[in-house]
A and B are shown apart, each in its own frame.
Chain A
Amino acid sequence: MTVWTIDAVLALSPDSASAAAGQSLGSPRHWTGLGRSERALWGLCQGSGKNPYQARIDLSEPAFKCSCPSRKFPCKHGLGLLLLFAADAKQFPTAPQPGWVDEWLTSRQDRAEKKVEKAQTAPDKPVDLEAQAKRAAQREDRVREGVAHCRLWLDDLLRRGLATAQSSGDWDRVAARMVDAQAPGLATLIRRIPSAIAVSNQGETHWSARTLCLLGRLHMLLTAAQRLQELPADLAGDVRTALGWTQSKEEALASPPTADTWIVAGQITEEDEKLKLRRSWLIGKHSGARPLILDFAAGSQPLDTSIVVGSEFTGEVVFYPARLPQRALVKSRGDSVPLSGSIASGADSTIEAAFDRYAQALAACPWITQFPMILQNARLTRSRERWLLADNLGATLPLRPSFCRALQLWRLVTACKNGPLTVTLEWDGESALPIGAFDPTGRHFIDLAPRWAA
């Protein structure tokens, strides 16, 4: 069972409204019949209906269940219950599980067992292999056309010069065309250009250099896409991923698993139009491996609540095949448990060492965008009004300006007041975005990712 912090609970909320509603229910006044067992928490919350809602939480994962009609998941009652637990566990006396908690836990167990059984037997629905192949071939064609179109446009742009193409409408049109061509990876890359033009006017680098940097990356990707057949299989896989093909779970499950105790060292959720994307960075205590677990949810659909930031679990992780294995799936796992101590073995001891890893990663896959660093003995320092992260040797990384403008910076400042921490950050080639920190004991985690409410 994890030691729950308010941050970790709020990180589970499906959106800001749920987080706020959950917070307002995180007071003992709203609850009766609170209780806990080894595995579960429960309580009754008087809502607008006649009968109070029965909220229950399976702490092992965690999983939520509530008798309210909300379609949000977890609902505000579940969040409120867990927030109350995080704030004051004393409110929850240890008691035998009531029937309505017991039944649910048993049914969960049954379902889990059935799932295992089902996974062992053959898939029940026959797959229309012919139609699948046809769809795949169609997409290949579309992407090929899209790549060719993009190629022409890019060459033309460079011939005329960047000075002639500053209106962001142009970029949007090409990006939309790439979405139509089922190459969303190209679209994402192109959409980053307008902000590079806009922002860099104040930065140290000239906007043309930043834009050319992105265009160079685009060129590299297009060139690789046009030579896809000649590339080695793992590199071709990376190129396809970068273009926007999604790899199937089966591909990942077919690769050999890595067993370890995995620490969830940082988690960051980005909201992009109608899609929520959450990146969870894990680190293996023994292997030092750093799998990235991606989770997507459309609209108000819930994100997976079982990856709890600042906790750890023992289990098997499988990487999607790639030259630089990064994205991964959790194949099998035990319960989320509190951090049990130092993560030193897998962390980066110096910034120099982290940069070496980054260079190697780039050599393997030049289109990586986010690179995780878990920096030991990190301290905040300043140099001419700029905030930096320094290591033991006095080497420094610049922090991302958006981070320094947000309150998260001050959480990190406060956390650093008593000495160095181990900081999880995402490096994008230019600046560091801290997303989490561990105190020297490695048992206490501070969430630094921007929260919903922020």
Chain B
Amino acid sequence: MTTASPPQLIGELSTTALIGTDRHGGGQDGPRILLTQAAIAFTQARAGHRPGRGSEQLPPCPVETRPAAPGLAISLLERLLADPDAGLIDEWCNLAHTRSQRVTDAIAPLLLEWWSRQPQRSEVVFAVTGVLGPWLCGLNPSWNKPVASSDIPADADERWQTGTPAERAALLTTIRRHDDARGLALVASTWATDGADERRRFLEVLGQQVSSADEPFLEKALDDRAKTVRQQAATILSALPGSQLRTRLSAAARACITVTAKRSLLGRAKVTLAVEPPKDFDKLWERDGIDESAAQGKGQRAHWLRQLLSAAELSIWSAHSGLDASAFLKALAEDDYFDDLLTALIHALSITPDPVWTHAILQAALDRPKRPWQSLTPVWTKLPAAHREPLLLEVAAHARFTPQDRWAILSAQAGAQTGAQTGAQTESWSHDFSLRAMKLLTDHPAAKAELNWELTGQIRQISSSINPSALAAFEQALTANFGDTQTDSIRASLNRVRLRADMCKEFSV
């Protein structure tokens, strides 16, 4: 027997075991002797195992002030996390957040784990983890904390000078979220030396949330030496209501509609309007982002016309013609360029929402039988729900549309709405609108909609936007259209609305 210390002995024994007792000069009993020594040494080592010493304590966790969400709501979230449906988890968190509630301790890590894997990381989700969220994220680097105002690094100015293009763009995004002016100042500070690609990228970030305070800088960028930068600046300014660029283009657009007032025999004034597309391309327009050459096979003049009218303020037309929105459109309804005009005005609505014009444009568009309903989609983007919902119902109820179209129109709006919300408050349809929309889908005089994959997707889309209080109406609409032949995906949509209804109920306890 050897007198070496246990670790030493174990090392020696292991080496012998590795090369074999034969090569180590052990005889017939070599293996047994080795194994016996190993058995003793290892058992002694196990029995003699001593605890470790010296380790760091965890930082203290701040005291929680938010109350936890009700028990049933918590168990529902646990169910959602076991079978994740991203939309519903976000919705759950929104409901909890508006009530200033949080998840329980046991669920917080599950929620953080889910959240860390989402492409769109909503800060609301993080907020409902209460004080645990920041504390746990500090201990687990794989759950990165979201950007909060306190997270603008102290050395932001220095990082702006030294960062890579991607880091600088990310930094700018962060700063712009909390301090517009500071972000703009940073961009301006290095503008002269930044490359064209970086300049364009920074403009893109500025464009995500632009205000008139940014206009002078953007106006200067219209004369940038790089074409991509000029174009980016023009794109942003053409979408900034009241910008000088829009004023300039409005003037040009005004010239495209000629107004002639005649006095009739009875002494009443009659106004005649005509669309007169520009005859020549004004080189000054190029600076404002107007594209000179149309796609092949398309008329160039109509191409210029559409661009000018799209960027013009809608408000100029009544002043220009002396007519209100609906009369203005009626007066032009027979014009050869009327469809180009409609397309341009629909685009203009997506920049400056206007309920009166929306109504008039929808009326005019619906009277054009060849106009597909999809072309109306930009109309809804900025319109407040109170105006949007009645108009949407009006469109969907139009006699032109088949049951199939109705599903598509309502779901497209639902899609545009969910698409527009990136991490923001999820906004469901209003209760009243949901009921009426479902009624439209239930009572169509024509044949029922035919179930195909497209419609299946539309049903799913609606199931995420409908107000869960209209669950019964949703069920009715499904039964009215598809009877008992419910596919798995329809059942899944129905279940989603049921879950959402449960969720609301469980929070309102």
CB distance from B47 to the nearest CB of A (A): 4
Q: How does the 8 Å CB contact mask read for B1-28 relative to A, with 1 for contact and 0 for none? A: 0000000001101110111111100100
Among A410-431, those with CB < 8 Å from B are 410-411, 413-418, 429
Of the listed stretches B77-85, B323-331, B442-450, B452-460, name the one at the interface; the rest are far from the partner chain.
B77-85
Closest to B110 in A: A407
Knowing A27-B502, A159-B22 are in contact, say whether A209-B10 is a contact too (CB < 8 A).
yes
Decide yes or no whether A239 CB sits under 8 A from chain B: no
Residue contact B52 to A24, C-beta cutoff 8 Å? no
Decide if A112 is an interface residue (CB 8 Å cutoff). no
Task: Tell me if B75 and A219 are in contact (CB < 8 A).
Answer: no
Interface residues in B32-64 by Cβ distance below 8 A to A read 32, 34-36, 38-43, 46-58, 61
Nearest Cβ in chain A — how far from B74, in angstroms? Answer: 7
Interface membership of A198, Cβ < 8 A: no
Which A residues touch B21, using CB under 8 A?
158-159, 161
Does B47 contact A363, Cβ atoms closer than 8 Å?
yes
- The answer to whether B332 has its CB under 8 Å from any CB of chain A is no
In the complex, the answer to whether A158 meets B56 with C-beta atoms within 8 Å is no
Compute how far the CA of A213 lies from the CA of B45 in the bound complex, rounded to whole angstroms.
10
Nearest chain-B residue to A427 (Cβ)? B49
Determine whether the beta carbon of A396 is less than 8 Å from that of B51: yes
* Cα of A414 to Cα of B109 in the assembled complex, Å: 8
A154 pairs with B35, CB closer than 8 A: yes
A359 to B47, alpha carbons, bound, how many Å?
4
- Please indicate the chain B residues that have their CB under 8 angstroms from the CB of A155 in the complex: 31-32
Tell me if A163 counts as interface (CB < 8 A to partner B): yes
Query: CA A223 – CA B43 in complex, angstroms?
Result: 15
Cβ of A60 under 8 Å from chain B: no
Size band of the interface chain A makes with B: 35 or more
Knowing A88-B70, A212-B38, A215-B35, the reply to whether A381 touches B56 (Cβ < 8 A) is: yes
Q: How far is the CB of B235 from chain A (nearest CB, A)?
A: 45
In the complex, how many angstroms separate the beta carbon of A171 from the nearest chain B beta carbon?
15
User: Given that A381-B58, A407-B110 are known contacts, is A415 also in contact with B105, CB under 8 Å in the complex?
Assistant: yes
Contact B35 A352 (CB under 8 A): no
Check A125 for interface membership: any CB of B closer than 8 A. Answer: no
> Which residues on B sit within 8 Å (CB–CB) of A84?
72, 75
Q: In the complex, how many angstroms separate the beta carbon of B54 from the nearest chain A beta carbon?
A: 7
A1 CB–B CB distance under 8 Å: no
**Interface SS of chain A: helix, strand, loop or mixed?**
helix
| Contact assessment for A154 and B31 in the assembled complex, using a CB-CB cutoff below 8 Å | yes
Residues of B contacting A358 in the complex (Cβ-Cβ under 8 angstroms): 46-47, 49
Judge if B264 is at the interface, Cβ distance under 8 Å: no
CA distance A27 to B136 in the complex (A): 30
Interface set, chain A 83-114, CB cutoff 8 A to B:
83-84, 86-88, 91
Residues of B contacting A159 with CB < 8 Å?
20-22, 26, 30-31
Report A-chain residues with C-beta under 8 Å of the C-beta of B51.
Answer: 351-352, 355, 391, 395-397
- Whether A414 lies near B47 (C-beta < 8 A) is no
Interchain nearest-CB distance for B59 vs A (Å): 10
Residue of A nearest to B113 (CB): A407
Would you give the shortest CB distance from A6 to chain B, in whole angstroms? Answer: 6
Question: Are A87 and B72 interface neighbours, CB within 8 A?
Answer: yes
B58 engages A161 (CB within 8 Å)? no
Nearest CB to that of A380 among chain B residues?
A: B58
Instruction: Give, as a whole number of angstroms, the nearest-CB distance from A21 to chain B.
Output: 11
Residue of B nearest to A367 (CB): B43
Are B82 and A453 neighbours in the complex by a CB distance under 8 Å? yes
Q: CB distance B83 to A161 under 8 Å?
A: no
Q: A366 at interface (Cβ–Cβ under 8 A)?
A: yes
Which of chain A's residues have a CB closer than 8 A to the CB of B359?
none
- Give the total number of A-B pairs whose CB atoms are below 8 A apart: 190
Which listed residue, B30, B43, B82, touches A20 by the CB 8 Å rule?
Answer: B82
In the complex the two chains form, what is the Cα distance from A28 to B35 in whole Å? 63
- What is the CB-to-nearest-CB distance from B57 to chain A, in angstroms, rounded to a whole number? 6
- Sorting the interface of chain B by its residue count into under 10, 10 to 19, 20 to 34 or 35 or more gives 35 or more
Q: How far is the CA of A164 from the CA of B20 in the complex (A)?
A: 9
Which residues of chain A (289-327) have a CB below 8 Å from chain B? none
Is A40 an interface position by the 8 A CB rule? Answer: no
Interface residue? A187 (CB, 8 A) = no
**Most-contacted residue by chain A among B55, B76, B501 (CB, 10 A):** B55
Instruction: Determine the residue in chain B with the shortest Cβ distance to A26.
Output: B75
Residues on B with beta carbons closer than 8 Å to the beta carbon of A27: 72, 75-76, 79, 502
Min distance, Cβ B219 to any Cβ of chain A, angstroms:
52
Contacts of B109 in A (CB 8 A): 407, 410-411, 413-414
Contacting residues of chain B (133-148) with chain A, CB-CB under 8 angstroms: 135-136, 139-140
Q: A216-B42, A417-B135 are in contact. Are A359 and B56 (CB under 8 A)?
A: no
Are A381 and B57 within 8 A (Cβ)? Answer: yes
Please measure, in the bound complex, the distance between the C-alpha atom of A211 and the C-alpha atom of B34, giving whole angstroms: 13
Q: Is A50's beta carbon under 8 Å from chain B?
A: no
B108 is an interface residue with CB less than 8 A from chain A: yes
Given contacts A414-B105, A414-B136, contact A219 B18 (CB under 8 A): no
> Whose C-beta in chain B lies nearest to the C-beta of A218?
B35
- Closest chain-A Cβ to B32's Cβ sits at a distance in Å of 7
Question: Chain A, 366-381, contact with B by CB distance < 8 Å: what is the 0/1 string?
Answer: 1000000000000111
B132 near A: Cβ within 8 Å? yes
Q: Which residues of B contact A20 (CB under 8 A)?
A: 82-83
* A88-B72, A208-B14, A379-B57 given; A417·B502 CB < 8 A: no
Q: Is residue A147 within 8 Å, beta carbon to beta carbon, of the partner chain?
A: no
| Inter-chain contact B58/A29, CB cutoff 8 Å | no
B90-109: CB near A (< 8 Å → 1, else 0) gives 00000000000000011011
A359 to B46 CA separation, bound complex (whole angstroms)? 8
Any chain B CB within 8 A of the CB of A137?
A: no
Q: Given A217-B42, A363-B47, A411-B109, are A209 and B56 neighbors across the interface (CB < 8 Å)?
A: no
Q: Which of A219, A359, A407, A417 contacts B39 (CB 8 A)?
A: A219
> Are B136 and A158 in contact (CB-based, < 8 A)?
no
Q: Cβ of B57 and Cβ of A410 under 8 Å apart?
A: no
Chain B residues with Cβ below 8 Å from A28 are 72, 502
- Complex contacts, B74 vs chain A, CB 8 Å: 87
Other contacts beyond A162-B17, A414-B108, A416-B58: 9, CB < 8 A: A87-B72, A88-B75, A208-B14, A219-B35, A355-B49, A363-B47, A391-B51, A410-B136, A414-B136
Give 18 A-B contacts (CB < 8 Å), ordered by A residue: A7-B106, A84-B75, A86-B75, A87-B72, A159-B20, A159-B30, A216-B35, A219-B32, A220-B39, A358-B46, A358-B47, A381-B57, A395-B51, A396-B53, A397-B52, A411-B106, A414-B109, A417-B132
